[in-house]
Structure 1
Amino acid sequence: MSRRFLPALLAPSLTLALAWPTAAAAAPSPTLHDDNPNGKSGDWYTGAIPPNASDDKPVLLFVQGLHSDYTTWTADDDYYTAAYNAGYRTAFVQLPDADGAGGSMWTNGSVLADVIKKAADYYHVPQINVIAHSKGGIDTQAALVHYGAHPYVNVVHQLGTPNKGSELADLAYSDWTWWLAEILGMRDDAVYSLQTSYMAQFREQTDSRPEARKAATYMGAATGDDGWFSATWFAHAVLPGSDDGAVSLDSAFGLPYGIRAFTDNGSETLSHSMLRYASKTWEQVRPKLKLASAGWSEAGAAEAEWADAGLAEEADQAVRVPARSGDEAAGAIYRGGEVDGVQTERIPLEGGIENVLIDIMVADKATAVELISPSGEVYKPEEGEAVPDELGIFGKAVHRVFSLDKPEKGEWTARISGERDAYFLLAAVQGGVDLKWRADKQVFKKNDTASLQLATRSGKAKQTSLQQAALRRSGSGKGTALQQLRVHAASDSEMNVRFQVPSEPGVYNLSFEVSGVDESGEAFTRSVNYNFAVTDEDGEIPRPE
């Protein structure tokens, strides 16, 4: 869990932004190339030619992120205006997401590859530069590597791209969130493809191919959020390490041959959504844009960029996708299910907790939520701000939030009252029992044995046990209990969990509770969601249908 849940962060902070011209000329509306008369997917736009345009500046193609359309780049504080005033010729793509449900990198990559070629032909240039936000960077990789667009692109600049996937996508398929996800329509091919185990195989399929290194790829990332109670704020409890509220730094910088361009903006931390604002990042992206020179060659262009960035050694090495890097903290408690009447959830909190932030998400604003302390005091929630989730996974939920400093120890009760609704409860704990876990790997052959190691800080817990383990196959319906979990307790504070993975290929989430008694004899619990995949006879994970 990220450190951003510390109570000190509730105080307002001053930030420093890059200077941004106040008198920038408004860019004329882009011109539509209506190549799909039956929808938006495959349509594309060209921006107006700036009066200061010149052939010594590359053509820029902008690629939006998940569940977005081309207006990502033309709305307020937009990259189109910035590029127009700087003299760049531009193009914009409409991916399948513009027509409704998000597409996987395979669907979107095929569409994008065609538009890349069309944009280069339209402007009569051999190569263009791509600027991609969020999942648009994954779609760009698919277009270049798997759909033949690499000869047409010499520079890619990613802004918050989940190169290793996102734990938010994993959680969307977990046992706790299943009911709420069903009501909100949070799952589609795009979210499926962003699960971390699926992305682990995509990295193997993509990074080992020579086409992956034809373009120099820059990676921009961030570590902020959109404010107290926003969708990007709650995501800090789910994502490991530093993150931008949708993508962890580890994932944003997860391209082994990518070049780290920037993190945040000077002294100002940025959220995932802010990365696409011109006033925040354009001046950091602009120096990386390059024209394909007459002496450009596929063999040398990207390698020269890697050498400049001190990455020449990595450019010569075979690509290896590691297992999950290091221990992962389990500092949250998850609950979830249906609501039709009154539903209660018990939340045991041990002593020594500095702060707990409880976010109860529902679909219906009419659903009432309250929190009751062990001594009977009733707490009413704050309402979360309506800030869209840039990964489009939990943004539609109604957030009801409680912040408790040094909470009373004992069993708390959440009471949720509503009709035909669902809830997901996330309690982010600071202090108390420190649980960490590690998995050997995420991608298996059928009937392999998976192994997880769990440990609490020495002296902080005893009598640890595993509870309520449930397994769900992503894309399927009802979850099933996993009966064959084998737990070996090395000590009161360490466990090794082993189980045989299913024989049916697919992506799975194993959701379970780790419960026990701390050194003071007080009950505690923490939640773990382990995302893994099982390959078919050809070594492939089934693609989204």
Structure 2
Amino acid sequence: MIKKISMIVLALFLLLPSWSQAGSWKEDPSGVPGQWYVGTTPSYVAPSKQPILFVHGLNSSSNTWWDDNNMYDTAYQNGYETAFIDLYPTKNMWDNGALLAQKIRDIYNYYGEKVVIVAHSKGGIDTQSALVHYGAFPYVSRVITLSTPHHGSQLADLAYSSWAGWLAGILGNKNDATYSLQTGYMSYFRDVTDQHANVSKIPIYTFGGTKWGSFGGSLYWGGLYLSGYGSNDGAVTVKSSRLPYATELKVGDWNHYSIKEGSSTFNLFKDYLNETAIQSSGTLNQTTERNSASYHDASSLIRGGEYQGKTQEKIQVEEGATSITFDWMSSSPSSRVILKDPAQKVYSSFTVKKDESDYFKGAYHHTLTLQTPIAGEWTLESTSSNQEEYLLNVSFESSLNDAVMVDVNQDEISLKKKDSKVSLQQDMTIEFYKNGKLKEGKLKPKQNGTFKLPKLGEGVYNVTIDLNGSKGKNKFNRTLIKSVYVDANGKVYGE
């Protein structure tokens, strides 16, 4: 049974066997931000066991811990008292941090002792905001984060890029939360948080995942795009799940959803739920490699737009590419998508699946993977009788993926060639957001390939760089996306 605080408990529930949920309620909690709930109290709670407060992530609610999830039941069966809270599902870490800090105090007073917080995804950022910036640290003994994007998510950068931003907006997936998860803004959050006097008051333990789920699953396409940034769970890279001063308990073969299941991770962190935790068996990340969260190999070509009738995109595939995946993401499932190789051979066996992830939920993916594609210009055509919005992500497996990298130096963004035999032509589009308003413009690079940020004031600058490159006679196309944050004093954040 879950009881809403300040509400009358209507009935007690006879506990079911250990494989079933620990308690029952006639309907799910309301999901109203700020409401918190208490789980059924086990028949015996050892004095050493501290209550657990579970904090949900982006576009979620408290029921994520028991709907199709045995985390609540697992905690109950292990003799722990539990509490759950609903935060704003689409607001940033400042709004949620302030709200959570107030409720942590209330939960502390209810139990009369400190709690351990277990947070999934963005819930870990909201939790750290509450403890560090809103003073809730005296009421918490430690924090365990499950695939929290401590350094932001490159999927948020993609959602606000010039090619994809409008599609995310049409689908209704651009909000304060996704805006704040851009890696540039999170670089700012890390700076003001990691140097704060309160940051060392509470120990943090982290988990990261490396699985995307099966082909066509809700995390597959995010994992495909993020693969250019390293190992990931379909939503968050392993590198982003880490903090330099936190203890990493485990990186395992979980996806972004399975990592929060009780049967997956509870036994791995349960020894850290007691008043006196065991000595850590994890790894303290004392140093963080530069560009740990923002490193990106040039593995993707991104295009997007809107059309009615027919449209096409040209893709240059280089010699030596071992595989290529075409992912045509549209606002409708009715698009007819075909692909033609340089020899005019036609491919039409695209798999169509609906996206259920946080950033492009509601879009439809038309996906096709080819091994050892022939070099030359490929053409992807789409036909629709209706007004259609689309985003194309072409992912390459190729030795040219690491030919270039992006570097940020104060107010300049530059491309650095890692292969001296590569020549580049590039166009840069910048989208600047402040108070929800967008300014967009094309930038021209200096002779050394450096772009200077325009002085538009405080806000997030989301930069899209389209590359036309060659190595000898071998031509290739790629897209690099980068976000940086400029504060009120003109300081630039973004590695």
Using structure 1 for the length normalisation, give the TM-score.
0.81
Query: Aligned letter for 1:486?
Result: K
Alpha-carbon contact 1:503-1:534 (below 8 Å) kept: no
SS state of the match for residue 408, structure 2? coil
Alpha-carbon contact 1:232-1:246 (below 8 Å) kept: yes
Alpha-carbon contact 1:200-1:321 (below 8 Å) kept: no
Distance 1:118 1:132 in 2: 18
State the percentage of identical aligned residues.
32
How far off is 1:182 after superposition? 2.0
Matches within 5 A, 1:508-527: 508-519=461-472, 521-527=473-479
How far off is 1:217 after superposition? 0.6
Alpha-carbon contact 1:60-1:91 (below 8 Å) kept: yes
Matches within 5 A, 1:110-149: 110-125=98-113, 127-149=114-136
SS state of the match for residue 236, structure 1? helix
Point out where structure 2 has 5 or more consecutive residues left out of the alignment. Answer: 1-16
SS state of the match for residue 479, structure 1? strand
How far off is 1:23 after superposition? 4.4
1:335 to 279, 303, 313: 303
Alignment CA distance shift 1:512-1:113 (3 Å): same
2:374 corresponds to 1:408: yes
2:383 corresponds to 1:417: yes
Alpha-carbon contact 1:62-1:131 (below 8 Å) kept: yes
2:247 corresponds to 1:247: no
2:320 corresponds to 1:358: no
Distance 1:279 1:143 in 2: 28
Alpha-carbon contact 2:21-2:72 (below 8 Å) kept: no
Distance 1:427 1:370 in 2: 14
Matches within 5 A, 1:366-377: 366-377=334-345
Matches within 5 A, 1:142-541: 142-239=129-226, 240-253=229-242, 255-264=243-252, 269-291=253-275, 311=284, 314=286, 328-386=296-354, 388-389=356-357, 392-418=358-384, 419-441=386-408, 444=410, 448=411, 450-459=412-421, 461=422, 463-467=423-427, 469-474=428-433, 475-477=436-438, 479-483=440-444, 485-488=445-448, 496-519=449-472, 521-537=473-489
Once the two structures are superposed, residues 219-270 of structure 1 have per-residue CA deviations (whole angstroms, 9 ceiling, x without a partner) of 00111111113232222343211111111111101x2211111111xxxx11
Query: Aligned letter for 1:217?
Result: I
Alpha-carbon contact 1:52-1:86 (below 8 Å) kept: no
1:28 to 19, 23, 29: 23
Query: Aligned letter for 1:516?
Result: G
Distance 1:89 1:129 in 2: 11
Distance 1:397 1:420 in 2: 14
How far off is 1:456 after superposition? 5.0
1:69 to 58, 61, 77: 61
Report the aligned-residue RMSD: 2.7
Alpha-carbon contact 1:324-1:438 (below 8 Å) kept: no
Alignment CA distance shift 1:115-1:33 (3 Å): farther
SS state of the match for residue 198, structure 1? helix
Indicate the residue corresponding to 1:8 in structure 2.
none
Once the two structures are superposed, residues 189-214 of structure 1 have per-residue CA deviations (whole angstroms, 9 ceiling, x without a partner) of 00011011111111111111121111
Distance 1:219 1:71 in 2: 22
Alpha-carbon contact 2:53-2:117 (below 8 Å) kept: yes
Runs of 4+, deviation exceeding 4 Å: 30-34, 308-311, 319-327, 384-387, 538-541
Alpha-carbon contact 1:332-1:429 (below 8 Å) kept: yes
Distance 1:88 1:30 in 2: 19
SS state of the match for residue 370, structure 1? strand
Alignment CA distance shift 1:456-1:341 (3 Å): farther
Indicate the residue corresponding to 2:6 in structure 1.
none
Distance 1:250 1:338 in 2: 34
Alignment CA distance shift 1:25-1:186 (3 Å): closer
Alignment CA distance shift 1:220-1:320 (3 Å): closer
How far off is 1:436 after superposition? 4.1
Distance 2:21 2:291 in 1: 48
Once the two structures are superposed, residues 414-467 of structure 1 have per-residue CA deviations (whole angstroms, 9 ceiling, x without a partner) of 11223222111011101252344444437x5xxx3x1323325354x3x42113
Alpha-carbon contact 2:298-2:400 (below 8 Å) kept: no
Alpha-carbon contact 2:405-2:418 (below 8 Å) kept: no
Distance 1:321 1:32 in 2: 47
Indicate the residue corresponding to 1:78 in structure 2.
70
How far off is 1:502 after superposition? 2.6
SS state of the match for residue 251, structure 1? coil
SS state of the match for residue 234, structure 1? helix
